[in-house]
Structure 1
């Protein structure tokens, strides 16, 4: 997986090898929007913020020399602030053409998306078409999340019918579904694995992949307006090296353990 992401990063990358080792101009300070989501960013047993994305930001700052200030926000507010020029960058961003007008993407993590249902419902309505046909059924998603094409198309049809409920964040989405206030919830592979590990009841739910070959790619998103190209190149070079030397794989193992993406 590391080589796949590294290859994608290399295709998108500018000539990072041309970066001067210690430029006279300072890099930053820049604000980085982080949002609570599974092993990417969460509170530990002592209530401290931790996770893959926090580790990635800290290491980018160390390797690039850029001053980065983490700010905890919702996805929706992060993108609104990036669009209005009030925030400089964010993490684990899913790439879209619209967002690419605002930011430069630096990919570093990938996952798959699953639709989770109770077993009885999965047996009768476990396909996009079957779920759509049952007008009583509703799905829970996290507000501001970007979905893979097949899941997005399915959700668009449900939205037209007013059958999509939005939660402000991933823990809330899981709690709502767990309480029976929704018929399905869309989760990434890492969130699904951690939810099953934390809750024995959740392990009994059925995870369906509506598009097994589609991957969601998480990327650093750097404001084109607020971050000069030279500083973006410094951070891209840092991420590329972290992918090559296994640093990001180490963060994933630290926060997720040996997580299989198979439901």
Structure 2
């Protein structure tokens, strides 16, 4: 369904709510091709979704660029109305209400090496000297959070502020692998000319403990009242059901790059 089609569906679904009671604050950090910035001007499929939705339901979304680690803290303190994009995580349930948009699967990403890669988080942890690069503030579920906490205590976790930093850590050999969804990493390589040559070396492998999980956004329980949460919950759910969210991903990413890491909700 094209943007006009799902916009009309949104209008019908949310007619009783007549938009949001105030401007919705959405600080965002760059994430591959999904969220990008030219100065303070936002681009990518998630800002596009917000602009379309704002026009359809009468809500103003105020997007500002912030580092990912600060974004998490802003959401926890109630300074951010939305945490987007975000995977479902038990640690976030007290602060926000989760709305799924797509399904994602994180895996182990490495550059071509002769040594076989770990096939599970447990094997990764058990391999002495194997360092992992991650984006600070990312979460891909409880198993991921627990494994990264162990690696952190063992001083084997290289934490970067964004996916580009993770790519550079791999290129420099500061870490042997990284854990995230392949689409985020690939989107970063596409946008960064200096990192683009790494695409030919990239290897993506699943990790046993990290299956498919839901990703989307969190609506703040601290800053949004129930009326605005209801309006936004309905609108985002309709965008996912209509196929518009999946279409935006396919429009943004190179053909074939989403296979194995992102799929629409069932």
TM-score class, shorter-chain normalisation, is 0.7 to 0.9
The answer on 1:261 being equivalent to 2:254 is: no
SS at structure 1 position matched to 2:208: coil
- The two structures, once aligned, show a CA RMSD in angstroms of 2.8
Q: Among residues 19, 25, 37, which one is paired with 2:31 in the alignment? A: 37
CA distance in 1, matches of 2:253, 2:260: 14
The answer on 1:246 being equivalent to 2:243 is: yes
Corresponding residue pairs, total: 245
Distance 1:169 1:21, change over 3 A: same
Contact 1:113 1:186 in 2 (8 A): yes
Q: Which residue of 1 aligns with 2:107?
A: 114
Q: Which residue of 2 aligns with 1:90?
A: 83
Is there any run of 5+ residues in structure 2 with no aligned partner, and where? 1-11, 262-266
The answer on 1:204 being equivalent to 2:201 is: yes
Q: Among residues 19, 22, 37, which one is paired with 1:28 in the alignment? A: 22
Query: What pairs up with 1:41-190 in 2 under 5 angstroms?
Result: 41-43=35-37, 48-120=41-113, 122-123=115-116, 125=118, 127-190=120-183
Distance 1:190 1:204, change over 3 A: same
User: What's the TM-score, normalizing by structure 1?
Assistant: 0.81
SS at structure 1 position matched to 2:33: helix
CA distance in 1, matches of 2:166, 2:242: 35
CA distance in 1, matches of 2:216, 2:157: 26
CA distance in 2, matches of 1:49, 1:252: 16
* Structure 1 residue 175, shift from structure 2 partner: 1.8
Q: Which residue of 1 aligns with 2:5?
A: none
Q: Which residue of 1 aligns with 2:216?
A: 219
Contact 1:19 1:234 in 2 (8 A): no
User: What's the TM-score, normalizing by structure 2?
Assistant: 0.80
Contact 1:82 1:89 in 2 (8 A): yes
Is there any run of 5+ residues in structure 1 with no aligned partner, and where? 1-15
* Structure 1 residue 21, shift from structure 2 partner: 4.7
Deviations 1:205-237 (A, max 9, x none): 322211376124222211112111111111122
CA distance in 2, matches of 1:66, 1:87: 15
Q: Which residue of 2 aligns with 1:3?
A: none
* Structure 1 residue 135, shift from structure 2 partner: 2.2
CA distance in 2, matches of 1:19, 1:207: 44
* Structure 1 residue 165, shift from structure 2 partner: 0.9
